[in-house]
Each structure stands twice: as C-alpha cells, then as structure tokens.
C-alpha cells in the first residue's frame, strides 16, 4: 500500500515561468510529510507534480524525475490517469460531486476502475471508507442524500473517504483544513494521524501548529521574490525544523519574523 | 421582485444613526425591472385574449361555415388533431437529431478543441442561427430532399419491417423526416450555444475532483460536466423545441402534407404542422369562420407549447437537491 517517493532535480514550469526550481527530496512511506512556506512559493504546484495533476493546467510541465518505489512517474509510456489512481488527492476546498449522493461520491473513483462490483462489496467499501474517514456515524442514515448537503468539514472528510476508497499508495492533501472550523480541523488532523498507518501522506499547510502536530517530516519552501522560482530550503524531522532549524530563513519563517 | 421592492434593504426610515434615503440608482433599477416584468405579463395576456376571442368561435364552428378549412373534417377537433400530432411529432424528431449532435459539438468546443478552433466553431454555429428560415426551406426543398431519397429507399428496402420505415418511399424526399432534419439544423445553434455555456461553467473544482480520481477526459465529462449541465441541457432542448414547434416557413416549404396521422417517416403522405398549415391556408381562408378556425389551431399550439415548457420545468426541478446549485 504505502510507498516511498523520491524526487530528483525537479523543475516545474507554467509556460515560460519557472514556478519551482531544483527540488530533490525523499518522502518516506507510512509517515506524514508537511510542506510549509509563504504564499506563492510553489507548494501546491509541487504537490500536484507528485500525481501529475499539474498537467491539467495548459502549459504546465516538469523537468526532472519523480519515482515511486523505483518507478518513474514521468517515464515514457506512463499514463497519468493510472498514476492518479494510485496517488489520491484532497483539495483545499471540499469538492464532493454535487450531483451524486454520499454513497455515489465514495464510489466515484472505484467505479472508474472496476465497473463490476457486487452490491454487497459496494456497501462494504462505502462503510469501510467512511469509517476510515471518521464520517460513518454521522452519515450512515443518509447515504442516499446529496453530498453537498453536508457541512464543510463533513464534505472534506467525504472527499477523504472518496480518495481512500481507491486504496491509493499515497495521499496528497493541499491545505485540507483551510476552509474549515477548528473542530472540523481537529477531526481531520486526528484522521491524518490514523491514515499514516496505511498511507504515505503529504500535506500542504499554512498552519504552523498543524504542521507541528500532524507531521513527522517538514519541508520548508521559500521564494527570493516575486517572479523568482520557489525552492526547497530545508527538509528534516518536524521536531528539528521547529526547534532547531539549520537555515536562518526557516527559523525566521517559523518564528514569524518573515519578510 | 420582492427583494428589489423592499425599502428596508436600501435604508430604513426609522430614526437613528443608520437613517438613510433609498439610493436613486436602486429605485430606477427596481422600477425598470418591475416595469419590464409587468410589460411581459401584459403582452402575454393580450396574446391570450386575442387567441381566445378570435379562436374560440372557430373551435365551435360548424364545418359548413368554414368550408376551406374544415371542409373535409367532422369538427374542429378532427381538423386540429392531425395537425397537432404532426407538429409535436416533427419537433420531437428534430430534437432527437439535434440534441445529441448539439451536446457533441458543444463538448468539443468546451473541452476538446484547441482554443482558436473552438472560437471559430462557436462563431460559425452562431452564424447558423442568423440564417433566415426561408433559406433553410429553399435549401431543404432543392438540395436536401432530393439528396436523401436514395437513403430513404435503402432504409425502406432493408429496415422496412420497422413500422417507422414502412410504406411507399416518397419520390421527392419531401417527407416528415426530411422536414424534421431541416428543423434539426435550425434548432442546432440555440441548443449548442446553451450547452456550450453550461459546459464551460462546470466548476473547475469538480473537474479536478474527477481527474484526481484517475478519470480520463471522457470519464471526467460523464462524472462532472454532464450531470452538472443536465438542467441547462434540458432548458436548451426546450428552447429548441419551442422554436421547432413554432417554425413555419421551412416546414411549409419542405413538407408535402396531406393531413393524416401516421408514424411512417418516408412516405409521401405526411401530417402537416399547425404553423405551416396556418401559413399555407391563410391566403385562401379570407371569409366566414375559416380564419377563426386557423386562429383556433394557433390557440392549440399555444397550449401545447405551454404544456411542453411546464413539463420541462418539472423535469428540471425533480432532482433539484442534486443540481449542484447548493
Ligand atoms: N495555473 C497557473 N498558471 C500560471 N502560473 C501559476 C498557476 N498556478 C500557480 N502559478 C504560479 O506559480 C507560483 C506558485 O504557485 P502555487 O499556487 O504553487 O503557490 P503556493 O505555495 O501553493 O501558494 P499558496 O500558499 O498561496 O497556496 C506562483 O507564482 C503562482 O502565481
Ligand atoms: Mg497553494
């Protein structure tokens, strides 16, 4: 299930503009890795290159390699659709399909892969995924109602359930709590702590405490100025980043003496 | 309307530091909106009154008093029945061709074509809407109808066991199927334009949700775009249907009609449509109750169109919770 990701000399471009420069890092399996850094430093951009979602944006492309357990995601003949089926993604704003019920939302990805699934298998997968996302108790009596009728936090957990229903190797989350209240945020943070038992989790966050609470490893990105590409400044155990960073820029950012 | 009229929304009258006058701009806007709304209702009422006052005598007329129209019919209802059938049948056939084609073209423009080609195509489709219907009629009668005869002959020979394709094939090609296809071309632009707009409005969020689950482009369209656009597609189809139901010239020119009720698509004996019939008969109907009979058929068309719109609204509202509007 859980896999290791190695990124080597990765540059990301939007047309002529280089958004991310020369990132090399290793993301360990069964752990939570947090990306922090100022706005516009390319965290989202970089995260999207880990499941080739950046290719959805016209003109976006990468140089360099991303390998997952030794397999190059950008190798010749690799189908981005297959990559995304193994590397799930949760977005900043909850985005359940409004035209689908809660149950259909959970099954949305699975039905793409495996059309013939018995009704009982479906029931079971829906329950397992919703339990995995800590949402089962709240929605078990209204699985047939639209997913857009849930609260924001519930919608976000529904999106997580939808992602883990695919049994991905890796789960990418781009500021999954930034649209949520503190209680929902805590629920999702708890969930992230549980998810790392089975998945490689990567999370982008602007919330320093959140990074400190949930992650094992933290990567700090920064930009030199507007128009300059984002760079990976430092990546280490979260403890170390927050208590004894080796770079001055990291320390300034962590302590709020930024810019 | 209620919100626009509400004075408290623009500043209450009660004493206190929040006191303020309604802004003139708000007043003008509210007034204009209300005026336009009332005007539409007045026009609709006037049209209805005209149809009722002039049409009802025709509907109740003795066939002897309206020889050129009701000449061969036992009553008004026997006369209008086949016409109403022909109108709905031809329009439904037209939609059958136009809707899938429009969805396809609109999807190509919104999600597949490179930007420049998409803009060009959109422009060409809009131009199609600007072609006058007489031109479609001329094209249908001189070019299209003769061209489809071999296809009809083939259909009749090989699929003639299907009732739709049975009977003796028309030698001119001026059948209800031809008329429906010409109608389809005419309603294509409006349906395509509306579909394209709603497809483009699909939230990026939901498209990305589908793609991130490993959907191919077509799967993404089925998962996120089409369900989101469903009410819009239905509205577009209904606008197209409205145009097809009311279309006069092209049908009057293309269709060789004989006032019967049949589902056979390829024969020379076809039901006419209400608007085409009015156009063709009006010239010779200038005395007695004949004109009232024709206006009476117009009233029937009015009711049919209303019923179709109501049905469409009902379909759109049925799954409101799942519409994506919340
Ligand atoms: N679709 C796009 N087209 C062109 N440039 C883009 C696009 N998306 C992002 N960029 C640019 O790439 C750079 C990195 O953006 P990105 O969204 O990755 O930053 P971020 O670190 O996620 O910021 P935030 O914390 O605000 O989300 C920015 O300069 C941004 O303007
Ligand atoms: Mg971002």
Superfamily classification of domain A5-95+171-254: P-loop containing nucleotide triphosphate hydrolases (3.40.50.300)
Q: Domain B85-273, what fold?
A: MetI-like fold (1.10.3720)
CA distances from residue A86 to A68, A172, B141, B182 in whole angstroms, order as listed: 10, 11, 58, 49
**pLDDT tens digits for range A121-176:** 999 999 999 998 889 999 999 999 998 889 988 999 999 999 999 989 999 999 99
Chain B residues whose C-beta is within 8 A of a chain A C-beta are 203, 205-216, 219, 223-224, 227-228, 230, 321-326
CA distances from residue A167 to A30, A98, A152, A194, B171 in whole angstroms, order as listed: 14, 23, 24, 15, 63
| Residue B323, pLDDT score | 62
- Across the strands, what pairs with A17? A14
Contact (CB, 8 A) for A177 and A184: yes
User: How far does the CA of residue A146 sit from the closest CA of chain B (Å)?
Assistant: 6
DSSP string, chain A: ----EEEEEEEEEETTEEEEEEEEEEE-TTSEEEEE-STTSSHHHHHHHTTTGGGGSTTEEEEEEEEETTEETTSTT--HHHHHHHEEEE-SS----TTSBHHHHHHHHHHHH-----HHHHHHHHHHHHHHTT-HHHHTT-TTSBGGGS-HHHHHHHHHHHHHTT--SEEEEESTTTTS-HHHHHHHHHHHHHHTTTSEEEEE-S-HHHHHHH-SEEEEEEESSTTSPEEEEEEEEHHHHHHS-SSHHHHHHHTT---
| Residue B15, pLDDT score | 58
Q: Which residue has the tokens 């529904």?
A: A158
Chain A residues closer than 8 Å to B210 by CB = 97, 108
Q: Which ligand is nearest to the CA of A231?
A: 1
Is pLDDT larger for residue B65 or for residue B97? B97
Say how many Å lie between the CA of residue B288 and the centre of ligand 2: 77
- At residue B257, the 3 state secondary structure works out as strand
Q: What percent of chain B has pLDDT over 70?
A: 93
| Number of other CB atoms surrounding residue A184 within 10 Å | 19
Q: Do A162 and B205 touch (CB under 8 A)?
A: no
Which residue has its alpha carbon closest to ligand 1 atom 5? A14
| Residue B68, pLDDT score | 79
Start-to-end CA span in chain A (Å): 41
* Residue-wise burial string across A106-135, b where 16 or more C-beta atoms lie within 10 A, e elsewhere: bbbbbbbeeeeeeeeebeebbebbbebbbb
Give yes or no for residue B10 having a pLDDT over 60. Answer: no
**pLDDT tens digits for range B175-208:** 999 999 999 999 999 999 999 999 999 999 999 9
| Residue B3, pLDDT score | 45
Chain A (148-167) residues lying within 8 Å, Cβ to Cβ, of chain B: 148-149, 159, 162-163, 166
User: How far does the CA of residue B325 sit from the closest CA of chain A (Å)?
Assistant: 8
Atom of ligand 1 nearest to the CA of A48: 18
Which residue of B210, B230, B322 is in closest CB contact with A146? B322
| Residue A210, pLDDT score | 93
Task: Quote the CA–CA distance of A170 and A196 in Å, as a whole number.
Answer: 10
Task: Quote the CA–CA distance of B27 and A166 in Å, as a whole number.
Answer: 56
A1: which 2 tokens?
């299930």
**pLDDT tens digits for range A66-118:** 999 989 999 999 999 999 999 999 999 999 999 899 999 999 998 887 667 88
Q: Do B213 and A96 touch (CB under 8 A)?
A: no
Atom of ligand 1 nearest to the CA of A175: 27
Contact (CB, 8 A) for A179 and A93: yes
Among the residues of chain B, which ranges form H helices?
2-5, 7-10, 24-59, 67-70, 76-107, 115-130, 133-139, 145-159, 176-200, 204-212, 217-220, 226-246, 249-254, 274-282, 290-318
Task: Quote the CA–CA distance of B294 and B155 in Å, as a whole number.
Answer: 36
**pLDDT tens digits for range A221-246:** 999 888 899 999 999 999 999 999 99
Q: Do A163 and B223 touch (CB under 8 A)?
A: no
Burial category of B310 from C-beta neighbours within 10 Å (exposed 0-12, middle 13-18, buried 19 and up): exposed
Give yes or no for residue A33 having a pLDDT over 80. Answer: yes
CA distances from residue B177 to A79, A99, B71, B117, B241 in whole angstroms, order as listed: 45, 36, 28, 32, 16
Give yes or no for residue B98 having a pLDDT over 80. Answer: yes
Across chain B, mean pLDDT equals 87
Give yes or no for residue A207 having a pLDDT over 60. Answer: yes
Ligand 1 first shell, C-beta below 6 A: A 14, 17, 19, 39-45, 57, 230
| Residue A180, pLDDT score | 81
Which residue has its alpha carbon closest to ligand 1 atom 16? A42
What single-letter DSSP state applies at residue B300? H
Interval A31-37 mean pLDDT: 95
Give yes or no for residue A188 having a pLDDT over 50. Answer: yes
CA distances from residue A22 to A13, A42, A238, B44, B254 in whole angstroms, order as listed: 11, 12, 22, 68, 68
Give yes or no for residue A7 having a pLDDT over 70. Answer: yes
Task: Quote the CA–CA distance of B117 and A109 in Å, as a whole number.
Answer: 32
Which residue of A56, A109, A149 is in closest CB contact with B213? A109
Chain B residues closer than 8 Å to A53 by CB = 208, 211-212
Is pLDDT larger for residue B12 or for residue A178? A178
Cβ-proximal residues to A22 (8 Å cutoff; 6+ apart), any chain = A9, A10, A11, A64, A231, A232
Chain B residues closer than 8 Å to A81 by CB = 214-216
Say how many Å lie between the CA of residue B168 and the centre of ligand 1: 67
B259: which 2 tokens?
């006032």
Judged by average pLDDT, the poorest of A238-242, B134-138, B163-167, B299-303 is B163-167
**pLDDT band, residue B324 (cuts 50/70/90):** low
CA A100 from chain centre, in angstroms, equals 23
Say how many Å lie between the CA of residue A195 and the centre of ligand 2: 22
Reported pTM: 0.83
| Residue B128, pLDDT score | 86
Chain A residues closer than 8 Å to B223 by CB = 97, 108, 112
Task: Quote the CA–CA distance of A125 and B223 in Å, as a whole number.
Answer: 20
What single-letter DSSP state applies at residue B111? I
Q: Which residue has the tokens 């005026």?
A: B35
| Residue B325, pLDDT score | 52
CA A49 from chain centre, in angstroms, equals 11
Atom of ligand 1 nearest to the CA of A38: 25
User: For residue A7, which phi and psi values (nearest 5 degrees)?
Assistant: -110, 130
Cβ-proximal residues to B197 (8 Å cutoff; 6+ apart), any chain = B232
Contact (CB, 8 A) for B141 and B148: no
**pLDDT band, residue B65 (cuts 50/70/90):** confident
The domain ranges of chain B are 85-273
| Residue B66, pLDDT score | 79
Atom of ligand 1 nearest to the CA of A227: 29
| Residue B4, pLDDT score | 45
| Residue B2, pLDDT score | 43
Give yes or no for residue B249 having a pLDDT over 60. Answer: yes
Whose CA is closest to A213, among A185, A247, A232? Answer: A185
The domain ranges of chain A are 5-95+171-254
What single-letter DSSP state applies at residue B270? B
């Amino acid at each position: 299930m859980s896999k290791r990701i190695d990124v080597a000399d990765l540059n990301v471009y939007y047309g002529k503009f280089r958004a991310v420069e020369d990132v090399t890092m290793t993301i360990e399996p069964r752990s939570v890795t947090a990306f922090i850094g100022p706005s516009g430093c390319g965290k989202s951009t970089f995260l999207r290159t880990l499941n080739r979602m950046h290719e959805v944006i016209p003109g976006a492309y990468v140089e360099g390699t991303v390998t997952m357990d030794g397999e190059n995601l950008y190798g010749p003949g690799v189908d981005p659709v297959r990559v995304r089926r193994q590397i799930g993604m949760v977005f900043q704003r909850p985005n359940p399909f409004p035209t689908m019920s809660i149950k259909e939302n959970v099954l949305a990805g699975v039905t793409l892969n495996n059309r013939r699934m018995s009704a009982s298998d479906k029931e079971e997968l829906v329950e397992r995924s919703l339990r995995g996302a800590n949402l089962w108790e709240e929605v078990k009596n209204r699985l047939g109602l639209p997913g857009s009728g849930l609260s924001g936090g519930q919608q976000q957990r529904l999106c997580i359930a939808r992602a883990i229903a695919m049994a991905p190797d890796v789960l990418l989350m781009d500021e999954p709590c930034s649209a949520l209240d503190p209680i929902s945020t805590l629920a999702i943070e708890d969930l992230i702590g549980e998810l790392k038992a089975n998945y490689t989790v990567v999370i982008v966050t602007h919330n320093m405490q959140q990074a400190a609470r949930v992650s094992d490893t933290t990567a700090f990105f920064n930009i030199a100025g507007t128009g300059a590409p984002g760079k990976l400044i430092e990546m280490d155990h979260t403890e170390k980043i927050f208590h004894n960073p080796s770079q001055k820029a990291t320390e300034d950012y962590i302590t709020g003496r930024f810019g | 309307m209620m919100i626009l009229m509400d004075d408290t929304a623009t500043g209450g009258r009660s004493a206190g530091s929040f006191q303020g006058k309604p802004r003139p701009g708000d007043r003008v806007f509210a007034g204009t909106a209300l005026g336009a709304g009332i005007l539409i209702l007045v026009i609709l009422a006037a049209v209805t009154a005209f149809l009722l006052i002039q049409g009802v005598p025709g509907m109740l007329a003795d066939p002897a008093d309206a020889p050129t129209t009701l000449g061969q019919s036992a009553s008004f209802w026997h006369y209008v029945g086949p016409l109403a059938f022909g109108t709905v049948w031809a329009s439904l056939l037209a939609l059958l061709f136009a809707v899938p084609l429009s969805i396809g073209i609109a999807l190509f423009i919104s999600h597949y074509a490179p930007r420049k080609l998409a803009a060009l195509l959109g422009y060409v489709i809009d131009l199609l809407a600007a072609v006058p219907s007489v031109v479609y009629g001329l094209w249908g009668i001189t070019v299209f109808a003769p061209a489809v005869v071999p296809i009809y002959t083939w259909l009749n020979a090989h699929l003639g066991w299907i009732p739709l394709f049975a009977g003796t094939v028309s030698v001119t090609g001026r059948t209800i199927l031809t008329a429906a296809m010409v109608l389809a071309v005419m309603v294509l632009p409006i349906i395509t334009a509306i579909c394209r707009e709603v497809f483009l409005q699909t939230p990026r969020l939901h498209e990305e949700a589908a793609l991130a689950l490993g959907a191919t482009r077509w799967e993404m369209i089925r998962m996120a775009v089409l369900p989101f656009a469903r009410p819009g597609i239905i509205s577009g189809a209904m606008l197209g249907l409205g145009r097809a139901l009311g279309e006069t010239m092209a049908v009057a020119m293309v269709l060789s009609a004989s006032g019967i009720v049949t589902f056979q698509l390829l024969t020379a004996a076809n039901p006419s449509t209400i608007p085409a019939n009015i156009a063709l008969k009006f010239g010779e109907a200038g005395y007695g109750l004949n004109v009232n009979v024709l206006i009476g058929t117009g009233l029937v068309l009015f009711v049919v169109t209303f019923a179709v719109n109501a049905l469409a609204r009902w379909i759109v509202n049925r799954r409101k919770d799942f519409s994506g509007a919340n």
